[in-house]
């Protein structure tokens, strides 16, 4: 078991060694704010910026790397208003404009595009177009406000584990210093900058953690300049 874990860990480090990394670092599990930094080939590319995270802080999510946690530390669950802790792929960009050019797949948020948060649906945690029968619970990707004017899809809970959280994005903030329902938010200007930088060919990922996971991330990404 230990040997298998070491092989998996080494493969992960090798696979993601030259990637683009978006690092979101909060003080603790109850924080509603965090600092976001962007790295490419382990070098910082923008000045760090303050972002909003979950109204109820953070809980361990389901990503590409399983981080260690104790029984008394929170797990991400559906509807808990916690942002997920972990290492996640960044899969695509979405927005209200019909055609925008990025180095990432782009989803046009039409009035029929939804993200399903019904755990019993076969489309749970998927972005789909509404068909004849609507899922019992979902959210529109084209909202009446500007929060989804531009956003990034976070690859959380790709295995669609029931009640483990869905529809996790990086998106435009509702208001400055306003926490989210479980996503990570910032100004439209900052979203545009990050979206223009992201490149699918460079395996972009989100590392979202509290300071208590810094040591573990430092071992996975030893060349990354992590600062408290």
Instruction: List pLDDT tens digits, range 18-69.
Output: 589 999 999 999 999 999 999 999 899 999 999 999 999 999 999 998 899 9
pLDDT > 70? residue 178: yes
Q: Could you tell me the maximum CA-CA distance found in the chain, to the nearest angstrom?
A: 51
pTM score, whole prediction:
0.91
pLDDT > 90? residue 227: no
Q: How does pLDDT run across 141-163, given as a tens digit for each residue?
A: 999 999 999 999 999 999 999 99
> Contact 28/180 with Cβ under 8 angstroms?
no
Q: How does pLDDT run across 111-131, given as a tens digit for each residue?
A: 999 999 999 999 999 999 987
Separation between Cα atoms, residue 172 and residue 81, nearest integer Å: 17
Residue 131's pLDDT is what? 78
Residue 228's pLDDT is what? 52
Q: What tokens were used for 132? A: 């004849």
Handedness of CA 151, 81, 175, 50 (dihedral sign): negative
């Amino acid at each position: 078991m230990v040997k298998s874990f070491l092989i998996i860990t080494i493969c992960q480090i090798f696979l993601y060694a030259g990637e683009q990394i978006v690092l979101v670092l909060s003080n603790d599990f109850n924080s509603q704010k965090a600092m976001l930094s962007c790295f490419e080939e382990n070098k910082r590319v923008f000045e760090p910026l303050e972002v909003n995270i979950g109204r109820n802080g953070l809980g361990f999510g389901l990503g590409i790397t399983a981080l260690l946690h104790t029984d008394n530390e929170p797990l991400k669950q559906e509807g808990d208003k916690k942002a997920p802790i972990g290492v996640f792929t960044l899969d695509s960009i979405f927005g209200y404009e019909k055609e925008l050019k990025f180095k990432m797949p782009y989803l046009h948020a039409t009035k029929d595009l939804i993200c399903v948060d019904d755990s019993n649906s076969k489309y749970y945690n998927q972005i789909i177009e509404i068909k004849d029968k609507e899922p019992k619970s979902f959210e529109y990707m084209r909202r009446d406000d500007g929060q989804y004017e531009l956003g990034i899809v976070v690859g959380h809970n790709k295995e669609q584990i029931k009640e483990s959280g869905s529809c996790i994005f990086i998106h435009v903030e509702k208001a400055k210093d306003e926490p989210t329902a479980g996503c990570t938010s910032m100004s439209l200007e900052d979203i545009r900058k990050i979206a223009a930088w992201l490149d699918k060919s460079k395996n972009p990922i989100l590392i979202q953690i509290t300071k208590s996971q810094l040591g573990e991330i430092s071992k996975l990404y030893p060349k990354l300049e992590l600062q408290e």
